[in-house]
Structure 1
Amino acid sequence: MRNFEEKTIASETIFSGKVVHLQVDEVRLPDGRTAKREIVKHPGAVAVLAITEEKKLVLVRQYRKPLEKTILEIPAGKLEAGEEPSACAARELEEETGYRAKGLSHVVSFYTSPGFADELLHIYQADGLAKGQGNPDQDEFVELVECTLEECMEHIQNGDIMDAKTVAAVYLWQNQVLSGR
């Protein structure tokens, strides 16, 4: 197997924000040449696959400024420093939707955009949902939406669901349904 590792020669942080940091690394390529890499550093995030007793997926409708549009997403949020992903999943589910889960189980973790970012996203499945009162962050405006699997598939087709975590969650749910889980 060939070695594709790129060795960092120099690294410069050019922006530090509330959510992300941007750094530019100079790297030595496997063939000895050098190149620049722009890297978004992110603390990681969680998302929750929450299905009600009525077999509906819990979603939030939210405006996303980078997209300049409103989309449907599963509840999700950024990990705080030192926070366990399962605790973040429970917190985000309740804050955004009002639902509490009796249990959360890890389903999958994946890098969202490994070509330029180190964000690792963890998807949890919520079990034993109990409805409560949501409490979104002060700068977060969300609307609770619950959809059947068929409705979710339609939302994917018409572009209302377009983010990777929600598309992945819907297909995970579809796989569970098809396999009888």
Structure 2
Amino acid sequence: MALAVVLSLALVGCSAAAAGLNSFQSPDGRYAFLYPTGWTRVQVSDGPQVVFHDLINSDETLSLVISDVNATNDLESLGSAVAVGEKLRRVVIAPEGSGRQAELVEAQERLDGGRTFYDLEYSVHLSDRDRHELATVVVDRGRLYTLAASTNEARWPRVKVLFHQVIQSFTLQI
């Protein structure tokens, strides 16, 4: 009886942690992640593989970019979490001449399913507003996966926990 109570409390805790999230899986079953309820997928050409945005706060986005890397590379061979985070900041988030400035706020390494992920947090300054972005990166079979969630700085305190859940939900399944 006590075991049943403990198990039911554990299951309630797990479902509460994922409350307000829907699951997305790639058509080929290769990767999956959670995205916030009320967000919708939008089709883009010549851009990220997958994009979702909030219907109410349309400047809140979630995107997955898949890039080719040397098939013999693993994430660690690309550099530490800080080094990879800084390179993404310079090359993708705020390249020279873009008019954007970005600061890498935090870079952490985590292991999940036997794979190394780098979780990155950025503060981004645009000419007309400030934004906050979380990203996770992982390398698998010659591909670099970058899942990023972004919002305006004013909403960051309200969505911080949710965005962390989304970013950390990214998993490679095959």
TM-score (norm 2): 0.29
More helix, by proportion: 2
Select the structure of larger CA radius of gyration.
1
TM-score (norm 1): 0.29
